[in-house]
Structure 1
């Protein structure tokens, strides 16, 4: 059963990513057709064609290698300036890269048919080209926002409630725990205030010291401030409201950070503080969030992804060091689709996690992948969408400067000149993908050690 759940988790994310890639290409396809550009192919994947069908002037299909997708539009490059009157192209003597660009332009020209004169990509106004190239990333952003809305509003986020999950029988000081490793109560240990007050797991605290309790954080702060003072407390057990009194004990407790982990000093010793303590643990539950929480959550996720992208070279070095040594992988570092699938499988196979929480986590995972695709595709380097946008903006700037100084229009920016950079970036992307896949196989990130 565990293996089946693992496979289902992997399939869930695999299908989610495949659909996301397909919709990314739809984001390019729809505006291209709306602007009358002739689109010859809409393909999911690369390599040999597995299945295709032609509708109108466009071939729609699936390729053998599910590593992305593309929309093929005519006229991505302007024609060769070196073309002779008879249409032939003179061989360039300026070097291999120039010849490469010349051949690419000629290949684009050879694809044109009668009636394409005003349907080529490079003749579109700059703003239309930008809309077409941003359509894909914006589709990923939209998918991410929708999935986060489903996650936050439909499933909710895990939040600490005012219902007790555990009640300690005694108080073991932080010093005792550190010095002896003691975890069990002894006759010498003082009784925990909550145990003395008669509280049990499952009780829900509703009123503390005459104030209505609305959140666990609020209750915790009141408990910390009430050390040594007997205060009235109201709680609900089995639907019945009950009352008692409790005296929080002044004790040293670990300083906990925003992420819930105990904080240490420069020497690695745990930091402590004297606060009121009653010896309870709280339950966590999924709490539905309002629509206003969706965009801030998406924004926070985008900032985190942007930080990874900005530091990508160093992150890849860290991945390589971990993959070829005994170092541990950074769980917040980059990973391939193999790693994402493995994480999805691990989450799905955890029987101790409620089904609702597992499904919510998988939805959040696919949403985060879409946000990562949005950010990554905005990098201003070819062959990424951001590279085409940068080229269009550069063309606009050149033309505006020429107009400002009453110079001749320089014409469309020849993206074919950037082919050497395109191939170099493509090789780097393939190398990055290979490294991440290898690392995800030999040194995978694991959420459950």
Structure 2
């Protein structure tokens, strides 16, 4: 079921984005009097279509894409038969270069607008909730294996990121840190400050799904929150609001300590001492085979909540949307400099589906859809033949030089671009499978 939910979210998100992207091309083409022969979401074979005027609107069986066929344009269909005939006034090739350029940029522009719009709505509706630096540093951090690998320790208090004070815990694990160069943390350890350097290729490790939650989190005092019906905590008599003091005699102050101790006693009987209404109570219970007892924690750390007005949300959402593009540029920079490997940095459809997760969460769905909209705009803007960016480069050359490339050149450029794109797609899918298996 989880796989179906992942696939469903991916297909829905991409169908929305690809449909809007291709609509951007179609709307611009129709605005300049070009004939649009086909508008399809998904690739052939055709599932359904309907003719409206000059345009056939349809849905293809392969959901990870879509296309618009504009008369007189050499595109991925490689239908060049009409190119040997006299140009007609309604054809793409008959229009001025500036109009053709707008048509080619139409999809990118729509994706950027959609991405910004989604991020603005998220900022306005959800605001922001975060742990402040002062709240985190009441107790310091929990250093997972990856954090320990670069020299951090549980209990460290991070006071600066890249030499600057920070206000939001998310700044510690931001793209500025992992996509930048020569990043560092300034740490207070036992009253002394020291600098912990972050390797330039560290993003390969922290972005690995298998290492999720294995870097840094806050040391979190807690009480027992909601109990899950039918699981050991409820059966044994734990109650919401109980404060755990010990587990099998081991003192428990923070949630990660509780997790660590439970991992050691999977499937065994334990005794938990809790504080309830000012008195201590000893409770025996059976730990499940996966090392859980069935409750949600109630964190005693205080989260800061920020609500944005519509005007503020416009600024925050726009900044968040374009940060996606800037992060992609930084990521490509790391690949080209050899600081990270392409196989570990790039994801295909399987990797993207895993980002959505196996539970349908509309907040996460729309956040990832907004993110993918900006990524789709960025990728399509790359100057690769067959992509919108490749067409835009050729049209810009025509505008500047006043010379139109030959149809043979455009056809060969399209073929080269298609080979590159198919090769990249095959690499991404194979890479996803490899990472999932190994």
Query: Smaller-chain TM-score range?
Result: 0.5 to 0.7
The 1:38–1:15 alpha-carbon spacing in structure 2 relative to 1, beyond 3 Å, is: same
Q: Which structure 2 residues correspond to residues 141-152 of structure 1 after superposition, within 5 A?
A: 141-152=112-123
Secondary structure of the 1:443 match is helix
Report if the CA contact (8 A) 1:144-1:371 is conserved: yes
Deviation at 1:285, TM superposition (A): 5.4
Q: In the alignment, what sits opposite 2:349? A: 337
Report if the CA contact (8 A) 1:163-1:282 is conserved: no
Deviation at 1:253, TM superposition (A): 6.3
Q: In the alignment, what sits opposite 1:58? A: 55
Deviation at 1:283, TM superposition (A): 3.6
Deviation at 1:104, TM superposition (A): 6.0
Question: Of 29, 33, 37, which residue of structure 1 is paired with 2:30?
Answer: 33
Q: In the alignment, what sits opposite 2:307? A: 288
Report if the CA contact (8 A) 1:319-1:439 is conserved: no
Deviation at 1:317, TM superposition (A): 8.7
User: What TM-score do the two structures reach when normalised by structure 2?
Assistant: 0.58
Alpha-carbon displacement from aligned partner over 1:379-431 (angstroms, at most 9, x marks no partner) = 122211112212221112222xxxxxxxxxx5x43244132332222122212
Q: In the alignment, what sits opposite 2:375? A: 372
Matched pairs, number: 297
The 1:441–1:287 alpha-carbon spacing in structure 2 relative to 1, beyond 3 Å, is: farther
Report if the CA contact (8 A) 1:130-1:389 is conserved: yes
Q: Which structure 2 residues correspond to residues 198-277 of structure 1 after superposition, within 5 A?
A: 217=167, 251-252=191-192
Alpha-carbon displacement from aligned partner over 1:166-187 (angstroms, at most 9, x marks no partner) = 976xxxxxxxx99xx9989xxx
**Whole-angstrom distance in 1 between the partners of 2:111 and 2:414:** 23
Deviation at 1:369, TM superposition (A): 1.0
**Whole-angstrom distance in 2 between the partners of 1:285 and 1:11:** 34
Q: In the alignment, what sits opposite 2:41? A: 44
User: What TM-score do the two structures reach when normalised by structure 1?
Assistant: 0.56
The 1:256–1:158 alpha-carbon spacing in structure 2 relative to 1, beyond 3 Å, is: farther
Choose 1 or 2 for highest CA Rg: 1
Report if the CA contact (8 A) 1:147-1:364 is conserved: yes
Alpha-carbon displacement from aligned partner over 1:302-344 (angstroms, at most 9, x marks no partner) = 1111233456667899244xxxxxxxx4xxx221121111121
**Whole-angstrom distance in 2 between the partners of 1:22 and 1:132:** 15
Q: In the alignment, what sits opposite 2:433? A: 441
Q: Which structure 2 residues correspond to residues 319-330 of structure 1 after superposition, within 5 A?
A: 319-320=342-343, 329=344
**Whole-angstrom distance in 2 between the partners of 1:72 and 1:39:** 6
Question: Of 341, 355, 360, which residue of structure 2 is paired with 1:318?
Answer: 341
Q: In the alignment, what sits opposite 2:10? A: 13
Secondary structure of the 1:428 match is helix
**Whole-angstrom distance in 1 between the partners of 2:426 and 2:44:** 17
Superposition RMSD in Å: 4.2
Q: In the alignment, what sits opposite 2:93? A: 122
Report if the CA contact (8 A) 1:335-1:440 is conserved: yes
The 1:183–1:311 alpha-carbon spacing in structure 2 relative to 1, beyond 3 Å, is: closer
Which residues of structure 1 form unaligned runs of 5+? 78-102, 169-176, 185-214, 219-248, 263-278, 321-328, 350-357, 400-409
**Whole-angstrom distance in 2 between the partners of 1:304 and 1:183:** 29
